[in-house]
Amino acid sequence: MVKVLRSFVRGPLESYAEGFVEELFRQGYSRPGAEQHLCFIAHLDRWLNGKGLALGDLSATVIERYLAQRREAGYVEYRSSKALQPLLDYFRSLGLLPAAEPVVLGPVEALLGRYREYLLIERGLTVGTARGYVDCVRPFIQTRLQGDVLDLAGLSAGDVTGFVLAACPGRAVGSAKLIVCSLRSLLGWLHLTGVTPTSSAASVPSVAGWSLSGLPKGLDPGQLRKLLAACDRRTPAGRRDYAILLLLARLGLRAGEVARLELGDIDWRRGEFAVRGKGNRIERLPLPADVGAAITAYLRRGRPGTAQGRSVFVRVHAPHRALTTGGVTAVVFNVGQRAGLGKIHAHRLRHTAATAMLRSGSSLAEVGQVLRHRSLLSTAIYAKVDRDALATLARPWPVAADGGAS
């Protein structure tokens, strides 16, 4: 039996408890955080000992059995496999876990796996985009499952339109368009690979939606100042959030582009940085002085020394892994709530950057270059927010000779 921190470990995990705690400290966990993890591990250790199991028996099935019994016992914390992840990662690094059990894919997932490979390799889509396509078409493929067999050869145009009419109502226009776009891609691939004798892509109906019909909703200068002021730059989290908000609001970066920013992407001597944008494109943008100062303040007095990898922005809490796209979005949302501005998403700050550039006298073409639009049509929507320029195009209201409106 060994006592580590405040927990006793006496079963099959006894000889690994001290090393596990050292690994937690190396990853940046605080002492209370490490104590919580070890208390949980001590409970798992007692369960394994009571079942007569060794560390080599800790398979996915055994882990699920343990977690199910823990939930049934009424525990409210550490009830999912995610709670075990730090320990499992540690054991994997030592090569102590049993080989992963083979995953047997059903016909639906097997076909979608081949389709995903096509999107990644042949089409060159990013992992996230390919995942979105697959998620959109999975319900359609599931409708073709008859027992253990997929009936795709007998696919008709009516089946395709029926699915779209059932799946799209009630959705936002963008979400519905993604469904039909993904479905056309899938049907083309099915014909290309010989699964279906003909392509049904042409039978996918279009979604009613008009380009440039909306109005970009950026923050006005007062709201932006209020948002930035809600970041407490005396704290590491506040310095990180302030730098993220400036990248979004001053340069119009997307949330994913901020998340993918790495230390080596910033050229401090030239005052520019590389942006990893859509389609795996890498483009360079100038680094304004205020944005560079905010990033520097975070790197010097905010980014933890236990940060993993080369990402500029990392999680506040251990393990200090790279901040994800969802994490960047959450930063904007949480700061907006603290500032009393309601629900604000990261893309709204991209609109804020575009409208600010227009108000300062930049042309639409220049705005499109900063936002890295492939087509000027993508930037044209911002012409609506330049009211002063639009006023010069407005014709006077016609007035009758007697002074009344005609």
The single residue listed with the structure tokens 């520097």 is 296
Q: Which residues pair with 4 in a beta bridge?
A: 7
Catalytic-role residue among 46, 138, 276, 347: 347
Q: Within a domain: residue 213?
A: no
Whether 359 sits among the annotated catalytic residues: the reply is no
Q: Is residue 323 part of a domain?
A: yes
Which of 51, 177, 372, 373 is labelled catalytic? Answer: 373
Is there a catalytic annotation at residue 254? yes
CATH of the domain at 118: 1.10.150.130
Q: Do the beta carbons of residue 259 and residue 328 sit within 8 Å?
A: yes
Instruction: Say whether both 284 and 356 belong to one domain.
Output: yes
Amino acid at 263: L
- DSSP assignments along 253-283, one per residue: --HHHHHT-BGGGEETTTTEEEEE-GGG-EE
Q: What is the pLDDT of residue 394?
A: 57
Catalytic residue among 70, 144, 250, 254: 254
Residue 284, both tokens: 């360079």
Q: Distances from the Cα of 388 to the Cαs of 217, 223, 385, 394, in angstroms?
A: 17, 21, 9, 10
Would you state the pLDDT for residue 315? 95
Nearest to 242 by CA among 145, 155, 332, 355: 332
Which of these is catalytic: 92, 278, 284, 345? 278
Is 343 annotated as catalytic? no
Residue 350 structural domain = 221-390
Give the Cα separation of 267 and 227 in Å (integer).
Answer: 28
4 phi and psi angles, rounded to 5 deg:
-120, 125
Query: How much is the pLDDT for 188?
Result: 95
Same domain, 178 and 291: no
d(CA 306, CA 336): 28
**Interatomic CA distance for residues 179 and 176, integer angstroms:** 5
Domain count, the chain: 3
**235 shares its domain with 347:** yes
Q: Is 82 a catalytic residue?
A: no
Q: Write the CATH number for 237.
A: 1.10.443.10
350 is catalytic: yes
Tell me what pLDDT residue 135 has: 96
Please indicate, yes or no, if residue 214 is contained in any of the structural domains.
no
Same domain for 123 and 268: no
- Select which of 144, 184, 240, 350 is catalytic: 350
Has 6 been annotated as catalytic? no
Residue whose structure tokens are 């798992």: 44
Give the model's pLDDT for residue 386. 59
What three-state secondary structure class fits 4? Answer: strand
The residues facing 116 across adjacent strands are none
Same domain, 185 and 61: no
Q: Residue 300: which of 371, 348, 233 has the closest Cα?
A: 233
- Which pair of tokens denotes residue 50? 């009571």
DSSP track, 25-37: HHTT--HHHHHHH
Let me know whether 21 and 84 are in one domain: yes
Q: pLDDT by residue for the chain (406 residues), tens digit each? A: 556 676 777 888 888 888 988 999 999 998 888 888 888 888 898 999 999 998 888 888 898 999 999 999 998 888 888 888 898 889 889 888 877 666 677 899 999 999 999 999 999 888 888 999 999 999 999 999 988 889 898 889 999 999 999 999 989 888 999 999 999 999 999 999 999 998 899 999 998 876 655 666 789 999 999 999 999 999 999 999 999 999 999 999 999 999 999 999 999 999 999 999 877 789 999 999 999 999 999 999 999 999 999 999 999 998 999 999 999 999 999 999 999 999 999 999 999 998 888 888 888 888 888 888 877 767 776 766 655 555 555 567 776 666 555 5
d(CA 299, CA 284): 21
User: How far, in Å, CA of 282 to CA of 296, rounded?
Assistant: 22
Strand partners, 276: 282
| Cβ within 8 Å of residue 209, ≥6 positions away | 173, 174, 176, 177
Confirm whether 44 is domain-assigned. Answer: yes
